[in-house]
Amino acid sequence: MKKFFVLLTALIFWACSTEISKNDADSLIANDPDTVSDDADSGDVSDKDGDAKTDTDDPGEADEDISDGSDDLQSDMDTPTADDEADMDIVPDDEVPMNFYFGNFHSHSGISDGEGSAEEIMQWAKNEANVDFYAMTDHSEQIFGGEWNEMKEMTDLYNEDGVFVAIRGFEWSHPLNGHICIYLTDDFNSAYSALWISYIYDWIDEKNAIAQFNHPGREVNVFDDLDFELKVADNMIAIETGNKGDGNNDGEFLPYYIKALDKGWILAPASNQDNHSMNINTHRSVYVGPDLSRQSMIDAMYARRRYSSDDPDIKVTFRLGKDWMGSIVTTTESLLKFTVKIEDNEPVKELQIISNGGNVVANSIIEGKQNSVTWNPEIMVNMNSYYFLKVISEDVLDNDGPDQIALTAPVWIIKQ
């Protein structure tokens, strides 16, 4: 059932994309201060659209005891099939507390153009890299012989639920059309045999894989200008907003994230290392889930319950009611109240909610050195829309600044 609604949402947004691209801010949802309110308790914060509540206490190591809301939508559709019910299983029970896990969905080893054997990479990633999860995604054009099986053997060997999650994937690497990380397949394909973007889309669809657009814009055709393709709308789950040393704070990839959303793709952002050696910077992809396990991570990947971050440990909650980032929500309501909670060990400077066309529809300027912030903006919604959160923090500890940025997956609103 969830797969159906992902496809339906993608189709709705794709159908509206031409009209959206022509409209100015006045045709989007509330893009002036009069349409945004905030009922949070007042704190020592200045806010263009209201007040944010702040807490000077250190958030500590305890993860947030917030339960995930169901992504299920009310529908008059027929009884779900077995496949539909399996898709619905990716949404944790309402009562399950949610945690934050930090890692890397894009890396290379000596199997392709990096360094180190598969085992050396996995040893380093698990024991030294300070990540919760790690994906081996060597260039498929350079995988030969038994190397594909070796990647599976080593990721299986070092995967340990509750301690460290490892998965195998590969990077389809076309010099013009772009690079795509592809996961959850028993075999692999390459740009030699799947020469055009339509060919690899067909293969991804046939294999029921999940996949991520990598470093958009570095290859000239940019995935056929990120034109929407319905047959893989449920398979394409993410796009990089950070890659290698180019983080969210560089802004290189953010326009492509917004462009993809405007064209109808249902994507979460990722900030990955794309590392070719056993070195790592502060940038992380983050999934939100009930536990640290392969299944929990894969569920979060499907659910787009993820965010990208320049900071290696910032905890970002972005929800509409019980519905987390990545959710598709149908509603008849016009005034929607979001929940934002930030916990970090560095000061939060500004919060923005961004909607169709990249328009900032609400923001909160945080005064003082506040490491923990809660914000509850209310936004008028008059059309099908998406909303994601941008968090700007001061870099004090990571030598990545002066600012660091986190970007969440959207909440998609289907207005009835």
Question: Is the CB of residue 281 less than 8 Å from the CB of residue 310?
Answer: no
Q: Read off the tokens for 70.
A: 């169901």
Q: What is the pLDDT of residues 86-108, one digit of tens each?
A: 333 344 555 679 999 999 999 99
**In degrees, to the nearest 5, what angle opens at C-alpha 397 toward C-alphas 241 and 275?**
40
The sign of the dihedral angle between the CA atoms of 284, 290, 293, 298 is negative
Decide: residue 82, CB within 10 A, 0-12 exposed, 13-18 middle, 19+ buried.
Answer: exposed
Distance CA 283, CA 398 (A): 10
Q: What is the pLDDT of residues 27-81, one digit of tens each?
A: 333 333 333 444 433 333 334 444 455 443 443 333 444 343 333 323 332 333 3
Q: Is the pLDDT of residue 84 over 50?
A: no
Q: Read off the tokens for 314.
A: 């910032």
Can you give the residue ranges of every domain in the chain?
2-415
The per-residue pLDDT for 92 is 53
Q: Which residues neighbour 273 within 8 Å (Cβ) at sequence distance 6 or greater?
A: 104, 106, 107, 244, 280, 281, 283
Question: Is the CB of residue 103 less than 8 Å from the CB of residue 301?
Answer: no
Largest CA distance in the chain: 63
The SS3 call for residue 364 is strand
> DSSP labels for 242-255?
EETTB-GGG-SSHH
Decide: residue 119, CB within 10 A, 0-12 exposed, 13-18 middle, 19+ buried.
Answer: middle
Q: What residues does 131 pair with on adjacent strands?
A: none
The per-residue pLDDT for 17 is 59
Question: Is the CB of residue 48 less than 8 Å from the CB of residue 365?
Answer: yes
Q: CATH classification of 2-415 is 3.40.50.620, yes or no?
A: no
The per-residue pLDDT for 41 is 35
The per-residue pLDDT for 194 is 86
Q: Read off the tokens for 168.
A: 């195998």
Q: What is the pLDDT of residues 174-187, one digit of tens each?
A: 999 999 999 999 99
Q: Among all chains, which residue has been given the structure tokens 């400077």?
A: 349
Helices within 23-134 (DSSP H only): 82-88, 118-127
The per-residue pLDDT for 79 is 32
Count CB neighbours of 27 within 10 A. 14
CA distances from 202 to 168, 235, 298 (A): 21, 11, 22
Distance CA 255, CA 244 (A): 17
The per-residue pLDDT for 9 is 74
Distance CA 267, CA 356 (A): 14
